[in-house]
């Protein structure tokens, strides 16, 4: 069951490098070289197209289309939505002497592709040896403007190495890309304008009726001819190259999706294009570099090898590259630019999972933002606030009250078409409650709590109370017919995770509303009016929370759900590697009837509510559940690693950490080609910060318990926390805490509380 | 929750009569007036079409088309099949003075429609008052030949009541009917021939590639003109009517689906048509009446009211009509004519349930045939034998061995698209094993057992052993992740029904194979060779059977499945009537998380293996489960009625019997319009024979325990049993058993064993 790295890219502290092109890795490279600026995303596909296997995915965050499903039973989703490819803005065709450039067929050399994480740029360079014997060096550069979400840039540099002559160039903007799974182009009603060296295309999705404006402006020598096809605007030109005199074509692009439509959008788009015209690609690139420099000041994680032997150095260098790649991708995919956005499981790097966001957002991603970009953390919660109406509608469909947050969504509506997940998993709802708590707890932002959080908590509490039921035997409350985080047990009763999260969510809702009544009575009154909240309801929340079933043996072992201890045992080590992933090889139901679990369920509680459980309870449950877990979720190993580190099982902690940072760089799951495992990147960050620095953010004071993996000599990272910036510098023998910015603050290290002031703190390892 | 009769038809001992036409009941009437001869089926729709709400369903048994489904997980059906409408052979258009007859718009009087259960004919008669002031009496007669499955007849009689003049008649054969749910015509590639007064059409289904030949021969005065449309052949003529001189047009029809195709089928069809030409409609009708006379000699159930008050007489008259309707429909839908046929839940009377057969066949229908038409019972089992390869393929898809019989099928392949049913319900497989046992046990047909039964048992046993697992706690065997007959608990462990049926199936497979080894060693050897059976396997079957989990409390209460006693209780009486059926009103998952059950699960065991449980165990479990059962399956009340009668709860038994015989005649479920509940009809018969006569067929000797409902004074019926025909004549004070045919035989009445010989037996009531 060990996952095996599929090494392809070259290790470098700040770059991901592909030297030479292997078509077998074409899609993996496209994913790894994907760029995003939260607003736009583009896979690293070849600008010039060609016959190489490719998913031509350029995406606009929030753009989706709909599918009406056959009417089924009540509560089963009958309309789903899914991210669709948006404007292909790098589309280019290049030909020399009638030969069209196609790296799937052409002769070429010196291929190199680089993602630079200090600038967020992708460059690709090679020498094309044409059939007519000409050598043409081509270099493609692209980036998505981190300051202006609607802007994108492409540069094509050409150098005739052994000739003087002409090159035909066709380039444009196209909405003609098919959705890969459905093989349909979801764009219709297109308006096209071509004038001089610029073109604009505006198109509308077939069913959702969303409109996107895309335009480009070329810095190109000579006059271009324009061509329009159904959903495509193209400019054509013939470039005259002089031997060894490089030539550069810059394309400035605007892709606007601002919620307007028709003429309004068209005018907004043209205005945005005009603004772009005032900024050269080089100026934008300079600003781009500054953005990333700023990012790394807060979000960098630096690790150094413990030994100087080549092997250790290589592994740690890979980890260094890996963790930077994770941090880079997280910052690319979401920075709080818009509360309309959330974080898709694959971000904007592929169409797998339909672009949907899951409970990963609150459970896995939120901590990263809480400690590096708290404003973005708030924006993520505002997404949930703004989609509260959809969650309330969903609860109604489930014959419940309040708000049931969707399992999978782009727009707040439930998009998950598998009823067993959509109707039985309440992780999203309790994760929202948890996220609100975690955010308010870490940031102290009570305004958010009163203004938005309380209302969400109230509606989630209503849902939880309307969905709970009493055991015939014990009379205690519990959730029946649910699926916990461990999706290998489809429909169970009293799932410990669901019950406990329900209990804590209800308690927090109760406490919050009670506190609000005292501290913000006028706001409380308004909320009561808006939601029809009755005094009695709070009492019921408390009663349900106080009487929630939580099956724990005398030893402290928590039963994952009713009957779990009876389930047939399977030795997961006995499953041949070739049968993974099980979903692809086993009969669907076969996966679900043993004690094998997919990902942490009971153990997840210890990650989220760490200080609420004793060391002994954590140990006993870890020892029981870990050997039964196959980690078919990419989030699973990090949670185990964090707990193992806490339990002093450093070797296990390091092993579980193993591929966390390089899940996609080394294509461990063999599905990187479908897109990056974005939310896993957040867990890789958490793995280091919660795992090896021992950060715990669920107590009154943030706690640390640093403990380095054997192969590291040093780990440095920073955290933002309540207006401060803390620099943490761990070495084997000590950890230094420095207050880079802000007022002194209390923190706990190895169980002892200190005040961290300007002078810093050095704590010896225990 | 009480079901309420929607009375519409007139009560009559041998007929179902509709006097006057209410368009609101159009579809209900179409279903109730459906005819079938096992091979063909036709709803009672109007020959002349028109604007009245209608499902124009004429079906050919075994004809279906396919749908490829989106690829999902392994073991989840990715191709389904469903019955489609076949040739519309009564298609007629009648017009007078340019007005086309349409009962949705025309003025008419004296409408009467009658189904005669002594002849299997449907007649419909009315006077059409044309806009031009003419009164035309029209009488339509149709029947499906019970002797020749491919033959059908239509007669149209016309009488001009107040005029002499002409009527335009167009009539034909058409494959143009749309599948109602999909709104697609599944017929393509049509060949049409029209010559003289006959026409033939042969067409092929789009995906399944099945070919059907349909032809008609008119006995009609004058010359017809032919017309051909895409999938339709039509004859047109003008009839000259003379006032008060009735005119008759007979149409003899052949619809052939014999597994051949192309020219071969065409020639076979033409030959069949030529044969038909030698038999007039009246001759065929005579033979038809003889067929039904024969049927009623064995299969009639006669009941007489206890009191002469009008109310009781009316209720019992309805029951009399009802039970005859049940017996009539069972004989119509299946008589063992072909081992390619099975019994769809709706027979050939509608497209709901896609024409699929379920485990109802073995659990509910088989007893009816065992005791009225044992050859048909054998044919039903031969259907399962012939589809053993498909069941073995299905088991493989589920990562199991042996044979897993489909939940829903027309052709042996699993057609159920809901994974939670198709992958988790093993009732079909254990029902096949039970059916084999029941058949061999009742008929003593050991040749069938050695030749066919043993092989099915072997493969079912292999499946059951490959699917079983051991509890981590007790080490005992059980089925995990299953759905029992109670479909309100989707995915449970150690469902008592599944475990017990698995145990008994394995035991029976073991016993059968052991006996075969001794009694038919050469046949046993052949079977071993064919199936690769290892000696060791038998041992394992026995071991699993001997160590099967069967959770029973000390008091004898059986827990339906692990954790059932813990489930939240719901008072089913508190559910408002308007919320039924729950599937239409409740969120899908909400149905599944209380102790409410849909249909007998534990109690079903007492019906099937009656003598294996004590009276006390039956009582305790009946008293526990009955109040938790909502009977959302139409099979449910009969099983409860049978048990209630056995437990001496005659009032309950009578109440549950209540609507059993008139489920569709009185449209209790308000969905008769979609088709008849065919398999429920078999249970209505069982309700009387097992319930009130107390027949038990699972012991060594057949047993009776007669006990009449209060409102009945007498109940008479007959049974075929091991070559004998037994007449049973129950009165309140005594039951008379007469051996109409065959050798003396032992039977048990009220627990005492007697020999029934030529002189008969009279047993006083206890």
User: Taking the C-alpha atoms of B147, B148, B152 and B158 in order, what is their torsion angle to the nearest 10 degrees?
Assistant: -50
Indicate yes or no: CB of A419 within 8 angstroms of CB of B562: no
Give the other-Cβ count within 10 Å of B33's Cβ.
22
Contact B85, B57 (CB under 8 A): yes
- Rounded Cα gap, residues B419 and B428, in angstroms: 15
Contact A200, A235 (CB under 8 A): no
Tens digits of residue pLDDT in B484-531:
999 999 999 999 999 999 999 999 999 999 999 999 999 999 999 999
Name the H helices within A663-741.
678-686
pLDDT of residue B596 exceeding 80, the answer is yes
Tens digits of residue pLDDT in B732-746:
999 999 999 999 999
Indicate yes or no: CB of B470 within 8 angstroms of CB of A568: yes
Name the H helices within A532-649.
535-546, 582-585, 602-608, 615-625, 636-646
Residue A239's Cα: distance from chain center in Å? Answer: 41
Instruction: Flag whether the ipTM exceeds 0.95.
Output: no
DSSP B548: B
Beta strands in A325-377 (DSSP E): none
- Rounded Cα gap, residues A140 and A119, in angstroms: 15
pLDDT of residue B23 exceeding 70, the answer is yes
Indicate yes or no: CB of A565 within 8 angstroms of CB of B472: yes
What's the pLDDT score for residue B751? 95
Chain A 57-76, CB below 8 Å of chain B: which residues?
72-76
Tens digits of residue pLDDT in B289-303:
999 999 999 999 999
CATH 3.40.190.10 fits B33-295, yes or no: no
Give the other-Cβ count within 10 Å of B328's Cβ.
23
Tens digits of residue pLDDT in B97-145:
999 999 999 999 999 999 999 999 999 999 999 999 999 999 999 999 9
DSSP A689: I
Query: How many residues are listed for chain B in this entry?
Result: 766
Q: Which of A487, A507, A537, A626 is catalytic?
A: A487
Beta strands in B452-591 (DSSP E): 469-470, 477-478
Share of chain B above pLDDT 90, in %: 94
Q: What angle do CA A410, A412, A416 make, to 5 degrees?
A: 65
Contact A355, A344 (CB under 8 A): yes
Chain A 369-398, CB below 8 Å of chain B: which residues?
397-398
| Burial (0-12, 13-18, 19+ Cβ within 10 Å), A200 | buried
Contact B76, A588 (CB under 8 A): yes
The residues spanned by each domain of chain A are 33-295, 334-469+492-551
What's the pLDDT score for residue B658? 82
Q: Following DSSP, what letter does each residue of A207-235 receive, concatenated?
A: SS--EEEEEEEEE-SS--EEEE-SSEEEE
How does residue B551 score in pLDDT terms, banded at 50, 70 and 90?
confident
Instruction: Give Cβ neighbours of residue A713 (< 8 Å, ≥ 6 apart).
Output: A304, A305, A306, A307, A731, A732
Instruction: Give Cβ neighbours of residue A17 (< 8 Å, ≥ 6 apart).
Output: A9, A10, A112, A113, A114, A115
Give the other-Cβ count within 10 Å of B576's Cβ.
8
Structural tokens at position A135: 């050598």
Q: Residue B93: enclosing H or E segment and its boundaries?
A: strand B92-96
Across A694-704, average pLDDT: 93
Q: What distance in Å separates residue A491's CA from the closest CA in chain B?
A: 6
Which residue in A has a C-alpha nearest to residue B549's C-alpha? A566
Average pLDDT, chain A: 96
CA distances from B295 to B301, B329, B684 (A): 11, 12, 18
Q: Is A620 on the interface with B (CB under 8 A)?
A: no
Contact A360, A343 (CB under 8 A): yes
Indicate yes or no: CB of B481 within 8 angstroms of CB of A490: yes
- Rounded Cα gap, residues A145 and A40, in angstroms: 9
Pairing of strands B745-749, B703-704: parallel
Contact B687, B638 (CB under 8 A): yes
How does residue B283 score in pLDDT terms, banded at 50, 70 and 90?
very high
pLDDT of residue A1 exceeding 60, the answer is no
Residue B396's Cα: distance from chain center in Å? Answer: 29
How does residue A2 score in pLDDT terms, banded at 50, 70 and 90?
low
CA distances from A131 to A96, A108, A124, A136 (A): 9, 11, 21, 11
Q: What angle do CA A370, A376, A377 make, to 5 degrees?
A: 40
Pairing of strands A135-144, A151-160: antiparallel
Residues of B within 8 A of A596 (CB-CB) are none
Tens digits of residue pLDDT in A426-445:
999 999 999 999 999 999 99
Radius of gyration of chain A (CA): 27
- Rounded Cα gap, residues A747 and A744, in angstroms: 10
| Burial (0-12, 13-18, 19+ Cβ within 10 Å), A700 | exposed
Which residue in A has a C-alpha nearest to residue B595's C-alpha? A472
CATH 1.10.260.40 fits A334-469+492-551, yes or no: no
Contact A284, A151 (CB under 8 A): yes
How does residue A659 score in pLDDT terms, banded at 50, 70 and 90?
confident
pLDDT of residue B3 exceeding 80, the answer is no
What's the pLDDT score for residue A308? 80
Q: Is B566 on the interface with A (CB under 8 A)?
A: yes
Across B268-295, average pLDDT: 96
What's the pLDDT score for residue B659? 84
What's the pLDDT score for residue A224? 82
Share of chain A above pLDDT 70, in %: 100
Q: What distance in Å separates residue A726's CA from the closest CA in chain B?
A: 48
Across A348-368, average pLDDT: 96
CA distances from B424 to A20, A442, B370, B465, B627 (A): 51, 46, 29, 15, 26
Q: Is A588 on the interface with B (CB under 8 A)?
A: yes
Contact B586, A587 (CB under 8 A): no
Active site residue B318: no
Across B162-188, average pLDDT: 96
Phi/psi of residue A189, each to 5°? 40, 70
Tens digits of residue pLDDT in B29-69:
999 999 999 999 999 999 999 999 999 999 999 999 999 99
Across A207-228, average pLDDT: 92
CA distances from A518 to A443, A513, A522, A542 (A): 21, 9, 9, 18
Residue A670's Cα: distance from chain center in Å? Answer: 18
Name the H helices within B148-256.
none
Residue carrying the six token digits 């877990």: A629
What's the pLDDT score for residue B2? 64
Indicate yes or no: CB of B72 within 8 angstroms of CB of A493: no
DSSP B219: E
> Interhelix angle for B535-546 vs B454-467, to 10°?
60
Pairing of strands A64-68, A79-83: antiparallel
What's the pLDDT score for residue A374? 96
Global confidence as pTM:
0.94
What's the pLDDT score for residue A471? 97
What's the pLDDT score for residue B632? 84
What's the pLDDT score for residue A228? 92
Contact A271, A259 (CB under 8 A): no
- Rounded Cα gap, residues B238 and B224, in angstroms: 8
Q: Is B595 on the interface with A (CB under 8 A)?
A: yes
Left if phi > 0, otherwise alpha if psi is -120 to 50, otherwise beta: which for B631?
Answer: left
What's the pLDDT score for residue A275? 96
CATH of B310-348+365-413+420-699, one of 3.20.20.100, 1.50.10.10, 2.40.30.10, 2.60.120.650: 1.50.10.10
Taking alpha carbons only, the member of B713, B645, B712, B636 closest to residue B679 is B636
What's the pLDDT score for residue B506? 98
Interface test with A, best of B76, B182, B478, B481 (most A CBs within 10 A): B481
Asked whether the bond before A581 is cis by omega within 30 degrees of 0, the reply is yes
Q: Is B95 on the interface with A (CB under 8 A)?
A: no
- Rounded Cα gap, residues A317 and A304, in angstroms: 8
> Interhelix angle for A535-546 vs A454-467, to 10°?
60
Average pLDDT, chain B: 96
How does residue A200 score in pLDDT terms, banded at 50, 70 and 90?
very high
Left if phi > 0, otherwise alpha if psi is -120 to 50, otherwise beta: which for B408?
Answer: beta
What's the pLDDT score for residue B577? 84
Residues of A within 8 A of B587 (CB-CB) are 73-75, 397-400, 423
Tens digits of residue pLDDT in A568-616:
999 999 999 889 889 999 999 999 999 999 999 999 999 999 999 999 9
pLDDT of residue A500 exceeding 80, the answer is yes
């Amino acid at each position: 069951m060990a996952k095996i790295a599929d090494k392809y890219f070259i290790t470098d502290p700040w770059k991901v490098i592909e030297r030479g092109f292997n078509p077998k890795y074409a899609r993996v490279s496209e994913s790894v070289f994907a760029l995003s600026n939260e607003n736009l995303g583009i896979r690293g596909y070849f600008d010039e197209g060609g016959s190489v296997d490719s998913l031509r995915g350029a995406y606009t965050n929030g753009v989706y289309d709909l599918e009406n499903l056959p009417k089924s039973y009540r509560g089963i989703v009958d309309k789903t939505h899914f991210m669709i490819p948006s404007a292909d803005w790098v589309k280019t065709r290049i030909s020399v002497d009638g030969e069209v450039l196609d790296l799937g067929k052409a002769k070429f050399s010196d291929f190199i592709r680089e993602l630079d994480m200090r600038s967020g740029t992708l460059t690709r360079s090679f020498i094309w040896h044409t059939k007519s014997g000409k050598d043409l060096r081509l270099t493609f550069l692209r980036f998505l403007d981190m300051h202006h979400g609607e802007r994108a840039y492409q540069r094509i540099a050409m150098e005739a190495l052994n000739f003087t002559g002409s090159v035909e160039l066709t380039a444009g903007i196209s909405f003609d890309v098919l959705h890969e799974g459905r093989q349909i182009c979801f764009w219709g009603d297109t308006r096209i304008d071509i004038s001089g060296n610029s073109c604009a295309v505006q198109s509308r999705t077939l069913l959702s009726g969303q409109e996107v404006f895309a335009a480009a402006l070329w810095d190109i020598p000579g006059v271009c001819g324009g061509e329009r096809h159904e959903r495509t605007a193209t400019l054509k030109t013939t470039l005259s190259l002089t031997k060894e005199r490089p030539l550069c074509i810059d394309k400035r692009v605007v892709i606007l999706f601002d919620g307007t439509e028709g003429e309004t959008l068209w005018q907004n788009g043209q205005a945005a294009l005009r603004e772009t015209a005032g900024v050269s690609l080089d100026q934008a690139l300079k600003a781009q570099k500054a953005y990333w420099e700023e990012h790394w000041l807060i979000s960098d994680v630096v690790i150094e090898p413990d030994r100087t032997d080549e092997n250790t150095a290589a592994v740690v260098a890979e980890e260094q590259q890996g963790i930077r790649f994770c941090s880079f991708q997280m910052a690319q995919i979401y920075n709080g630019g818009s509360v309309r956005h959330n974080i898709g499981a694959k971000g904007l790097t592929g169409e797998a999972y339909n672009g949907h966001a899951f409970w990963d957002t609150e459970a896995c991603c939120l901590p990263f933002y809480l400690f590096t970009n708290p404003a973005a953390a708030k924006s993520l919660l505002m997404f949930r606030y703004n989609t509260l109406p959809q969650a309330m509608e969903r609860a109604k469909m489930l014959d419940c009250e309040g708000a049931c947050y969707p399992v999978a969504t782009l727009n707040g509506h439930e998009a998950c078409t598998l009823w067993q997940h959509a109707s039985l998993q309440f992780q999203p709802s309790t994760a929202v409650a948890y996220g609100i708590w975690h955010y308010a707890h870490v940031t102290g932002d009570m305004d958010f709590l009163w203004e938005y959080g309380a209302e969400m908590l109230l509606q989630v509490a209503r849902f939880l109370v309307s969905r709970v039921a009493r055991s015939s035997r014990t009379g205690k409350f519990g959730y029946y017919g649910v699926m916990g985080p461990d999706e290998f047990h489809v429909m169970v009763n009293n799932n410990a995770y669901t019950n406990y999260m329900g209990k804590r969510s209800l308690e927090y809702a109760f406490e919050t509303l009670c506190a609000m009544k005292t501290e913000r009575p006028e706001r409380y009154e308004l909320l009561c009016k808006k939601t029809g909240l009755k005094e009695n309801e709070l009492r019921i929340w408390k009663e349900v929370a106080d009487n929630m079933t939580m099956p724990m043996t005398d030893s402290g072992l928590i039963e994952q759900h009713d009957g779990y201890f009876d389930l047939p045992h399977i030795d997961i080590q006995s499953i041949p590697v070739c049968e993974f992933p099980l979903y692809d090889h086993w009969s669907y139901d076969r996966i679900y009837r043993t004690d094998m679990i997919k990902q942490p369920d009971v153990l997840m509680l210890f990650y989220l509510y760490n200080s609420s459980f004793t060391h002994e309870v954590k140990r006993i449950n870890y020892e029981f559940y870990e050997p039964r877990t196959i980690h078919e979720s990419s989030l699973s190993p990090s949670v185990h690693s964090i707990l193992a580190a806490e339990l002093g099982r450093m070797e296990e902690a390091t092993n579980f950490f193993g591929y966390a940072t390089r899940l996609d760089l080394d294509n461990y799951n063999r599905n990187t080609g479908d897109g990056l495992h974005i939310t896993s990147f957040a867990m890789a960050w958490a793995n280091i910060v919660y795992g090896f620095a021992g950060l715990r953010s669920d107590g009154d004071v943030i706690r640390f318990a640093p403990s380095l993996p054997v192969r590291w000599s040093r780990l440095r990272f920073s955290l933002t926390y309540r207006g401060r910036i803390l620099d943490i510098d761990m070495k084997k023998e000590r950890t230094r805490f420095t207050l880079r910015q802000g007022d002194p603050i209390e923190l706990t290290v190895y169980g002892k509380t200190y005040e961290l002031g300007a002078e810093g703190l050095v704590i010896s390892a225990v």
